Copies of this chain bind each other. A is one copy, B any other.
Amino acid sequence: MGAGIVGLASAYHILSQDTGRRVLVLDKAASAGQGDTAKTVAGVRNTFTSEVNRLLSETSIDFYTHVQNDLKIDLHLEFVGYLWLLTDKLVTRLEPVVSRLRKDGVALKFWEGKELSEMLPQARLTLDSGDEEGKIMRLSSITAGLQGLKCGTLAAEKLVVFYEQEIRKLGGSIRYRECVDSLIVEPLQKLGLPKEPLVWQEPKVMGVKTDHGEIRAERTVLAAGGWSTGLLNSVGIDSHVRAKKRQVFVVKGTSVSKLLYSKGFNDSAVLPLTIIPPHLIYMKPNRAEGTFWVGVSDYVGGAFTFEEEPVAEDDFYTYDIYPVMSHYFPHFKDVRPFNKWAGHYDLNTIDGNPYIFEESGLIIANGTSGSGMMKADAIGRIVAAAQANKEIATLYGGKHFQVAKLGIESRQVEREEFVI
């Protein structure tokens, strides 16, 4: 279930690993990647403190690089970098994190405040002591920058099309415009009593009911992001995730372009995907469009809601994002978004790593928490291993991964500290 990036990567790897398996992908939308996959900002980074998160993203990024460089399928993958702008306080706080990441081989470039000022001449990195507006917004001077080098952006729709085509090449089926209404849960041995499975029967997920009828399968995989909680609640399986609205605004303009085409950070001669402290507002460069996509990470106060058609609110740009962004970067002065959209975060608020677990025969992959695109390939390989009852998955590049580590009972992940 789900032709988003996680569902597609899973179907692809099931077909690749389990030759002879018949695979059907279902999605309610008219084409692939139209749910929250279409709403991603499509950043990729390997800068996670959780070793598991890092492994998932590193190997996925390596696979996407292979697709683009070796298979010659342009994913618009560009290593423009992720640039965390840092205050003095953050420099101190991140010091142990940075040294740990460096030790583990994560490529990081540290920028001194002076260097940043030269590369971003029109930015206001140093705030005056009399800056009341800055104080009200709890902003401090930016005195350094940390750039993740194996980080950047890609075009989500290109990756979606890649997986979709591979699925078809391998003989997989995809049905669009077919909506899953419920999971079929039945006892292994049906007796015809009311409301089976009863307490003393062994329940098993046998397939799904859609608006077109019943589909029974040997294995059912749920990779429907925010849509999964409702389906799971109905049968008493905890999805372990909460959905929160994620809004993206697109801005451009003459002065914005000056910031966008900043030199010195990468070969693409654009500003990296830049994260502004301390509220984690981010700006993603889109070089081809000449725009920034801006948004902000999850925060307390934003309700957990799941809507079929979430809407980005102008007020959110005006009052929440714009004052901070334009304070550091006067390039945005009076710039209004010319495009916007909203999707959902599928949040694991406990440890920030994805979940892949089995319950009553159903495989569930969720909790991508805003970084599903950059981990999708690894998640797909682990789902493929799980549905084949394998304990170990092989990630791109040959690294082994114990499937149970992302499950519930034997979960073994570190709480992610490097959230944007």
- What are the residues of chain B within 8 A of A139 when measuring CB–CB? 200
Against B, the Cβ 8 Å flags (1 = close, 0 = not) of A294-310 are 00101111111100000
A237 in contact (CB, < 8 A): yes
Nearest Cβ distance between residue A386 and chain B, in whole angstroms? 18
- What are the residues of chain B within 8 A of A136 when measuring CB–CB? 189, 191
- What are the residues of chain B within 8 A of A185 when measuring CB–CB? 300-301
* Contact residues of A between 178 and 214, Cβ < 8 Å to B: 185, 189, 191, 193-195, 197-203
Q: Would you call B202 and A138 a contact (CB within 8 A)?
A: yes
Q: Would you call A199 and B236 a contact (CB within 8 A)?
A: no
Against B, the Cβ 8 Å flags (1 = close, 0 = not) of A359-400 are 110000000000000000000000000000000000000000
Classify chain A's interface size.
35 or more
A240 in contact (CB, < 8 A): yes
* Contact residues of A between 155 and 192, Cβ < 8 Å to B: 185, 189, 191
Stretch at the interface among A12-20, A217-225, A320-328: A320-328
- What are the residues of chain B within 8 A of A240 when measuring CB–CB? 349-350
Report the Cα distance A321→B198, complex, angstroms: 9
Q: Would you call A408 and B198 a contact (CB within 8 A)?
A: no
Nearest Cβ distance between residue A93 and chain B, in whole angstroms? 15
Known contacts A240-B350, A360-B300; decide if A319 and B234 are in contact (CB<8 Å): no
* Contact residues of A between 14 and 62, Cβ < 8 Å to B: none
A284 in contact (CB, < 8 A): no
Q: Would you call B238 and A233 a contact (CB within 8 A)?
A: no
Q: Taking each of A201, A202, A301, which has the highest tally of chain B beta carbons within 10 Å of its own beta carbon?
A: A301
| Closest residue on chain B to residue A313 by CB atoms | B195
Report the Cα distance A198→B302, complex, angstroms: 9
- What are the residues of chain B within 8 A of A70 when measuring CB–CB? none
Report the Cα distance A138→B189, complex, angstroms: 11
- Residue in B296, B305, B350, B360 whose beta carbon sits within 8 Å of that of A199 in the complex: B296
Q: Would you call A237 and B300 a contact (CB within 8 A)?
A: yes
Q: Would you call A320 and B200 a contact (CB within 8 A)?
A: yes
- What are the residues of chain B within 8 A of A303 when measuring CB–CB? 233-236
| Closest residue on chain B to residue A242 by CB atoms | B238
* Contact residues of A between 56 and 94, Cβ < 8 Å to B: none
Nearest Cβ distance between residue A15 and chain B, in whole angstroms? 29
Given contacts A233-B303, A350-B408, 4 further A-B contacts (CB under 8 A): A200-B279, A232-B304, A236-B302, A350-B350
27 contacts between A and B (CB under 8 A): A136-B189, A137-B200, A137-B201, A138-B200, A138-B201, A138-B202, A139-B200, A198-B319, A198-B320, A199-B281, A199-B301, A199-B324, A200-B279, A200-B323, A200-B324, A233-B305, A234-B303, A235-B300, A236-B298, A236-B301, A238-B350, A240-B349, A240-B350, A300-B360, A349-B408, A350-B350, A350-B408
Closest 8 CB pairs of A and B: A199-B320, A238-B349, A137-B200, A233-B304, A236-B302, A203-B301, A198-B320, A200-B279
